[in-house]
Structure 1
């Protein structure tokens, strides 16, 4: 069995490699050559933690396995990342354990890659202002990945706790971009692309705050009850997602569907746009929204890639199991 510890991931996996792996995964899902198994995600009644499993199988890549982990809100006080996860890969031919891979950094990279894939395929080519809603740990990964897809000249941001906006300001500075802290009204008025990356259970952005031509990547809603944008916003937008079943049950679309504002058939797969079976954005005035729920196949794809890189560089740890 190959072991790639969490501490080795940063030296092996790049944002570019994560992007390629996730884009290929979404395409495979839309071709029906890869599929996810039902998600298990539960509050465990201890430490306010959410814990679960995401798993799946890609027949083309022979990627089989699961990611186990969740969210421990008290970890920051312990000097640990709130999101904790581990990926286990299995040999698709025999069922034997193939690899154990640290999943914390990979989760951040694959989540940012997903929104970046949506920006590549759905945002207007002339998008110049990036809006960020949320300034938590993953926001920096999101901003960097987004800026690799469009030639932004400014970043605007909002966070429930303004004292955390320094993360966005610092990351924009690293990218050579000016940053402005703004109200939600102003963010919607300025931004051509908006990324929401929060753990909110109440809608933050309202339908009336979004102007025509905007692309939104809503990346924080992955559990029943979570919500980052008003349900009515989805009726103004053309909605895309990683996996439709997750979008309408635990993703951002769950609220619009429950309210009767949106049908499951109204949600399209981002993989169909990648494969050319859906036209994607049809006009410069269209609002597009990507509901990034996070699928197990993303985790398997980036974990398999990091194992490949570790073995190619001769740094993979091999243990009998």
Structure 2
């Protein structure tokens, strides 16, 4: 078994490689050649979450599981709040193939999924990017979004506004002006990415202008919520996996309220494979409910393993 510590991942997986892996994963799911297994998620108290996401991709000959979660006390200890590891197995024999540090991989695959939704669903003339949230993953979201659209400026909001200068610095690296706004100011945005761990909605329906594309990337657990339930009823809905969207994703609240049905939610993979046209007008609001599927973690981890093997990196252990 090959062990790839977290410190190696940045040199093994580029944002382009992550996006290619995630796109392949979406297509395999749409083609019925890959499936996620039920998510196991447990609350540990004091805001801590721990669980498992797993799946099997026959197209990519990949099987594995990501173990990890969210530990909000980590920031005070100098480490990121999201902690995870990905384990890959031979789908034919079940033997372990690799253990891969999953923290950077999670940020890369989450940003890649968001960017793919922007690429396929945002208006071609989108010029203003809004970011709701300024934590660790927000910088990855901003960089990935800027790879697929030529934004002219970035606006941002965070519950703790003192964190926004970190996001402004990333925008400056990309040559984009940044402005901190209140939530109603998000109506200026053509694309809005929400990337928070909020238990209650912050972005409301009247904060979103017609024609906007939203990538809601923070809700992956029962009880979390980033946007007002009524907003989902006004949008054309897409997701990474419908089963997760209606149970642990942003759509869980709209489904519970009877405002949205599972049948109204389209897998983004169907857009990538041409089974669904995606956005149908310049005025409609589109929303991607990014719940984070285990297959994407597995796909990106497999890219890291392939790159490490080609370069003779990692630690081999007998199992």
Q: TM-score range by the shorter chain?
A: over 0.9
* Residue number in structure 2 paired with 1:54: 53
Question: For 1:166-177, what aligned pairs fall within 5 Å after superposition?
Answer: 166-177=165-176
* Residue number in structure 2 paired with 1:195: 193
Question: How far has the Cα of 1:316 moved from its partner?
Answer: 3.1
* Residue number in structure 1 paired with 2:203: 205
CA distance in 2: counterparts of 1:292 and 1:101, whole angstroms: 22
What's the CA shift string for 1:207-240, capped at 9, x where partnerless? 1221111000000000001100011111111000
Question: How far has the Cα of 1:80 moved from its partner?
Answer: 1.2
User: Which of 256, 263, 279 does residue 261 from structure 2 map onto?
Assistant: 263
Question: For 1:1-321, what aligned pairs fall within 5 Å after superposition?
Answer: 1-45=1-45, 48-188=47-187, 190-321=188-319
Q: Residues 61 and 122 from structure 1, CA distance in 2 versus in 1: closer, same or farther, beyond 3 angstroms?
A: same
What's the CA shift string for 1:250-301, capped at 9, x where partnerless? 1000011111111110111100000000010011111100000000001000
CA distance in 2: counterparts of 1:48 and 1:200, whole angstroms: 11
SS at match of 2:148: coil
* TM-score (structure 1 length as normaliser): 0.98
Question: How far has the Cα of 1:48 moved from its partner?
Answer: 4.1
Contact 2:5-2:314 at 8 Å conserved across structures? no
4+ residue segments displaced more than 2 Å:
none
Question: How far has the Cα of 1:183 moved from its partner?
Answer: 1.0
SS at match of 1:44: strand
Aligned length: 319
Question: How far has the Cα of 1:186 moved from its partner?
Answer: 1.1
Question: How far has the Cα of 1:317 moved from its partner?
Answer: 2.3
SS at match of 2:233: helix
Question: How far has the Cα of 1:3 moved from its partner?
Answer: 1.1
Give unpaired runs (5+ residues) of structure 2: none
CA distance in 2: counterparts of 1:81 and 1:208, whole angstroms: 33
**Higher alpha-carbon deviation: 69-78 or 146-155:** 69-78
Give unpaired runs (5+ residues) of structure 1: none
* TM-score (structure 2 length as normaliser): 0.99
CA distance in 2: counterparts of 1:209 and 1:109, whole angstroms: 28
